Each structure stands twice: as structure tokens, then as C-alpha cells.
Amino acid sequence: MIKLIPRNQPSKSMIALTPLIAVLLTMLVGGALFVALGKDPFAAIRMIFWDPLFGEHAFYYRGQILIKAAPLIIIALGLSFGFRAGIWNIGAEGQFIMGAICGGAVGLAAYPSDSWLLYPAMVLAGALGGMLWGLIPAFLKIRFNANEILVSLMLVYVAVNFLSGMVTGPLRNPDGFNFPESRAFQSFSAAHNPEIWAGTGIHIGVLVMLGLVVGCYVMLTRHIFGFNIRLAGQAPRAARFAGISPNRMIMICLGLSGALAGMAGLFEVTGPAGKLSTTFPLGYGFTAIIVAFLGRLHPVGIFLAGLLLAVTYVGGDIIQSQLSLPKASIQVFQGMLLFFLLAVDVLVMYRIQLLQRRVR
Amino acid sequence: MDISAVALIASLIVAATPILLAAIGELVVEKAGVLNLGVEGMMIIGAVVGFIAAVNTQSAFVGFVAGALAGGALSFLFAILTQYLLSNQVASGLALTLFGLGLAALLGHGYTGIKPPASPKMEFFGLSELPVLGPTVFHHDLMVYFSITLVAGVWAFLKFTRAGLVLRAVGENHDAAHALGYKVVRIRVAAILFGGACAGLGGAYLSLIRVPQWTEGMTAGAGWIALAIVVFASWKPWRIILGAYLFGGVTILQLNLQAIGVDIPVSYLSMAPYLVTIVVLVIMSADRARASLNAPASLGRIFHASN
């Protein structure tokens, strides 16, 4: 029989090892899934995890990885603070969309400006839009005790509908033959977020992401705010005695994660997506939840996890085109990854003891 | 075209039934002290599996059974994670939803645009011919009546049976229940499976009767609304009906307003069910003292019997 024995301390080695175990398990079971779909599992796994990095067309895919990783990592960094403190913002997708709308609207309003101030203003508006959208559940939680999980999630659907209202109404491209989409941001360079070095996929958002990884690392390990967050998560009662106001924590965590998600949305809409349209939401806000957990809510871990998930996104595109598998199969893969991670996480706090039958 | 109240009520009941089924299942789960945020994932799996089964066998009944089984199977993953591997329930529920949405899209690939077999409507010996009561109350498919019976059954189970009392005890204080010798983990697993089956059934209703066809991501937050309705109902079975029908009403009213072409863009009308959910959550949670009285005390807490 197997028995779980609680550890006195969380196992340090397991904290680092379990994400790798989870990835391996996902590959195994994912391979079985591909067999069930009648595809060669080794080819599929290779296409997902290897080809984007080192395959024949990797020079193109590597840039794509950074493009996909930037929003995932930026959003996940924001979410990780709240998740540490037990504040569950799962509406990052909505904040991402609202950031794109608000920032994008500022840019579109200034069309055809060529001021260099425009882009910073758009980033600011995007972050503010996302922040305000994230503060709604925070306010309702503090003032009315409403569950932030449900409220933030409901706001995703509100944001999706708001987006379609915007692109069929005020933000529709006036020269666009009534298509439900905005003017392309490429059409005026002041509002465009271009690739800085051709072929690398590096745009402003990627650079901001790298800066944020460092910033969040410093904040979490060296700043009193990071300490307070960790305290509130690990010992809520102690945190209250130490004078940390839970309400302020809620405001800061939801506002911060909203602002980062909004900023990510702005980078996405002005860069890789190119314009506001109803097909703009790609589910990065939800995948970022997986990234945050897989990265152990730690900035460096999130950076690595974001790259990994970005690889699976690109790999998903590859298997979609080469094995003619539906796009959703990669979503299954990503969901599975979170599942296995949560499952093997038990090893961090508990050790497994095999009970031997006593022989008489 | 104007809005006829009779047609409105008849269609709101159909719109509410998927949420009703999922919510009554989740109520039992939460009464046992488990917060399963994977309702959305289990619903959509129920929707797609039920649809596939029904199309292939040309029997809606088989579809519903398959949907319930699929929802139960998915919830079993959640049960293993949270009850045996002691994972965080919020994270596991989210994982269930993400996984379920992906798996459903994968399974349903190639089933879009097909019509499922029709489910016959019940006839109550002429009662269905009554002028107003007929179409609103006595002329629905079997699942509508089943869902209401299920609510009554859950109410009776929780209120009058010993097993129901044990389940509530587990949800209120799992340590005490464990000390009394009740199998906390086993009871919770059973409750989770029941919740999964109900959510699957609700999903199957969505794809077989409510819509009726399969489209990717068709639950569109219905599972999350079901979670909110459990809060709205203050964990009381009968109020689930009230909550679900209220949301059905908002959805149908909004659709009808779209149809008669009110001067509000469709996108803003479509927000209504979600906004109403938020408003209702706010109203029901505002009174902290009452909200915490109604919620099961061990909700979302991990149980591990150390010796």
C-alpha cells in the first residue's frame, strides 16, 4: 500500500523537479492520445517539443516562440502575485481584451498621428484599462464580499461582447467595407509595435517582458511587498497581525495583474494581431494560468514555463498543418500539463511511503 | 413582432434546464465541502460526448446517459487530484475546465453542423392542450421534469436521510466527521461524481435540446453561471430552481430583444446574463454574516487524515 507522510518542510528538490516530471508524463499520455487519434506519437511529440526549437524551419519558429511567450509571461507574472496570496484572478483574458481595446482606442483616436508620444500613451491606456477591469472584482470583493473567481470570469464574457460591440461600432475601420475589425495599426507607424530585428520575433512587448521578469524577481525576493505577498499566502493570520491589510492586498494583486494583462493585450493587438477584431482573443489569459502554476509562481520559473508553453503553441500549429490534427489537440496537451503538475505536486509537501506487509 | 409571455416562459424553462442540472449537482458537491470549479469543463464534455453518442445511435436517451457518464468520468480526475493527491481545489477545477474545453473541441471535431435526434415532448393526457398552462408547464421534454424531480430528490436526500446528514457533516467539519468514523474521502468522491454526472447531463441537454447542435465552446460560461447560482441559492436546493429560471429568463428576454430589433447593439444585450450574474452574486454575498452561515464550513479545505 502507498501512504502519504507529511514532510516537515516543503521539499526544495521536488519544487524544481515536479514541473519536469509533469512535462514527461504529459508527453507519455499525450503520445498515447496521438496513438488513439491514429497518428505516430513520436513524430507528433517531436513536432511539438523539438521542431519549433531545432527543426528544419526553426529559424522562423524561434521568433514565433518569443511572440507567443511575451503575453503569456507578462500575464502570468501578474497573476502569480495574487495566486501566492490566495487571490484568484482568473479573468486575465478579459483584462487582456480590455487593455487592447483601451490602448487601441487611444491609438485609433489619434490616427494618423506620427508623434512618438503616442505609443507610450497607448501602453499606459492599455495598462489602465486592464487595471480598471481587474479592480472591478477587487472592489466587489472588498465592498460586497463577492467571489472574485466568479466575478472576474464573468467579466471575460462581458469583455468579449464589449469587444465585438466596439469593432462593429465606434472602433470599426471607416475604410473597411463594414468588416467587424478596426483599422490596422500597421497603417500608422506611431501606433505600431513592429519587430525590432527582422526575423527574431522580438518586439517591444518581448523587451518589456524581459524587464518585468527581472523586476518581479527583485520585487518578490528583495522588496517588502514581495515579502508581504508571501506572508499573506503562507500565513494569513500572521500577515494580519503584522498589519498587512487583506483588502489592500486584494486591490494591489488584482490591479497589478489586470494592468499587466492589459499591457500584454496592447502589445499583442498593435503587434502580432495587428488590429482589433472579434477573433483577437486567443485564450492567452487562460493559458497564462497554466504558465503561472508550472513556473511555481516564481518569476524565473514563469519565464521558463512561458517559453515551454509558447513552444507547445508553435508545435500545435505544426502538428495542425502537418498531421492535420485539430487545433484543440494542443489545448488538451496544455490542460493535461496542468493536471499532471497538480498531481505530482503532492510530492512537494508529502513523501510517499510504501507500506510493506509484515511477514510473520 | 412582439413578445408573447407564454412562449417566453416556455423557452426560458428550456434555457434554464442545463444550468439547473449543473447547479444542483454542484450544490451537492459543495455541501460535501468540495469546491469544484470544473463545472464548465464537465458540461462541455457532457455536451460533446452526449451529442456524439446520440448522433451515432440516433437515440437522445443514449446521448443523455453518455453525457452523464462522461461528466462523471471527468469529475473523477478532479476527485483523484483533490481527494487522493491533495491538490488545491481551485487550481484543479481550473485545470479541469481548461482540459475539458480542449478535449471537447478535439472530440467534437467533425460533428459540427449535424442535427441530433429529436427528443419527444411529453403529453399529459390533454393537459398539454390547456391554453396557458399547457405550453408553459405541461409541454416539455422529459429532461425538464427530470431536472425538477432531481432538485426535489436532492432536497429530500439532504434534509431527511441519514446519508444526507452525513454528507452535510462532512462538508461542515471534515475532522469531526472523520473522528465519528465516516469515510470523508469516499463520501466526497461520491459527491464529486454525482456533480460531474449532473454537469454532463446539463451539457448534453445543451447540445441535444437547447441549441440543438454541437459548436466549439458552446457552453459559453454556463458552467460558471451554475457555480454562481449555487451561491445565489445560499446552498438551498429549491432556490436553485429560482436562480436557474431567473437566468433562463434573462437569457431569453435578451434573445427576444435581439430578435425584435431593439435599438441596442446585439453585443451589449449578450452581456446581460453575465452582468446579472455579477449583480446577483454581489447582492447575495453582501451580507457577510448570512453568507458565511449558509456556506458549508469546510468548503474548499483539503482533508488529510494523518493517522
B282: closest chain A residue by CA: A146
A203-227 per-position pLDDT tens digit: 888 888 889 999 989 988 888 888 8
pLDDT of residue A194: 75
* 3-class SS of residue B141: strand
* 3-class SS of residue A202: coil
Asked if pLDDT for residue A229 goes beyond 60, the answer is yes
B12-36 per-position pLDDT tens digit: 888 889 999 999 999 999 988 888 8
CB B180 within 8 A of CB B172: no
Residues of B in contact with A156 (CB under 8 A): 221
* 3-class SS of residue A277: strand
Strand partners, B232: none
pLDDT of residue A95: 94
Q: Distance between CA A338 and CA B101 in Å, rounded?
A: 14
pLDDT of residue B135: 67
Query: What is the rounded average pLDDT of the residues A264-271?
Result: 90
With a CB cutoff of 8 Å and minimum separation 6, the contacts of A339 are B77, B81, B92, B95, B96, B99
Backbone angles phi, psi at A328, to 5 degrees: -65, -20
pLDDT of residue B7: 76
Q: Hey, what CATH class is B5-112+139-294 in?
A: mainly alpha
Q: Grid coordinates in use for B71? A: 461528466
B81: closest chain A residue by CA: A343
Domain annotation for chain A: domains and CATH numbers: 40-324 (1.10.3470)
pLDDT of residue A357: 66
User: Predicted confidence band at B3 (pLDDT cuts at 50, 70, 90)?
Assistant: low
Q: Where are the domains of chain B?
A: 5-112+139-294
A304-336 per-position pLDDT tens digit: 999 988 988 888 888 888 877 777 778 888 888
B105: closest chain A residue by CA: A328
Q: Grid coordinates in use for A224? A: 517588502
Question: Percent of chain A at pLDDT above 70?
Answer: 98
Half-sphere exposure of A114 (CA within 13 A, CB side): 3
CB A4 within 8 A of CB A352: yes
B129-147 per-position pLDDT tens digit: 666 666 666 667 788 888 8
A346–B216: do the CB atoms touch at under 8 Å?
Answer: no
* 3-class SS of residue B305: coil
Cα–Cα–Cα angle for B151, B153, B158, rounded to 5 degrees: 95
Q: What's the mean pLDDT when you consider all of chain A?
A: 85
Q: Distance between CA B305 and CA B307 in Å, rounded?
A: 6
pLDDT of residue B125: 65
**Listed range (A122-126, A219-223, B289-293) with the worst mean pLDDT:** B289-293
Interface test with A, best of B76, B98, B215, B288 (most A CBs within 10 A): B98
B108-145 burial: b if 16+ Cβ within 10 Å, else e: bbebeeeebbebeeeeeeeebeeeeebbbbbbbbebbe
Cβ of residue B285 closer than 8 Å to a chain A Cβ: yes
Cell 477545477 belongs to: B93
CA-to-CA dists, residue A232 to A85, A237, A243, A284, B122, angstroms: 5, 8, 11, 27, 56
Asked if pLDDT for residue A41 goes beyond 90, the answer is no
Asked if pLDDT for residue B225 goes beyond 60, the answer is yes
pLDDT of residue B1: 43
Q: What is the pTM of this model?
A: 0.88
Q: In this structure, what is the dihedral angle of CA atoms B234, B238, B242, B248, given to the nearest 10 degrees? A: 100
Q: Distance between CA A128 and CA B221 in Å, rounded?
A: 26
Asked if pLDDT for residue A58 goes beyond 90, the answer is no
DSSP letters along A308-354, please? HHHHHHHHHHHHHHHS---THHHHHHHHHHHHHHHHHTHHHHEEEEE
User: Predicted confidence band at B11 (pLDDT cuts at 50, 70, 90)?
Assistant: confident
Q: Least CB-CB distance to A338: which of B95, B291, B306?
A: B95
Q: What's the mean pLDDT when you consider all of chain B?
A: 84
Q: Closest by alpha carbon to B163, among B182, B185, B189?
A: B182
Query: What is the rounded average pLDDT of the residues A257-267?
Result: 93
Q: Distance between CA A85 and CA A88 in Å, rounded?
A: 9
Q: Least CB-CB distance to A346: which of B86, B90, B271?
A: B86
A70-95 per-position pLDDT tens digit: 999 999 999 998 888 888 888 899 99
- Dmax (CA) for chain A in angstroms is 88
Kindly report each contact of residues A23-32 with a partner whose C-beta sits within 8 Å and lies 24 or more positions away, as own/partner.
A23/A308, A23/A337, A25/A340, A25/A343, A25/A344, A26/A333, A26/A336, A26/A337, A26/A340, A29/A336, A29/A340, A30/A332, A30/A333, A30/A336
Cβ of residue B217 closer than 8 Å to a chain A Cβ: no
DSSP letters along A86-108, please? T-----HHHHHHHHHHHHHHHHH
Interface test with A, best of B281, B304, B306 (most A CBs within 10 A): B281
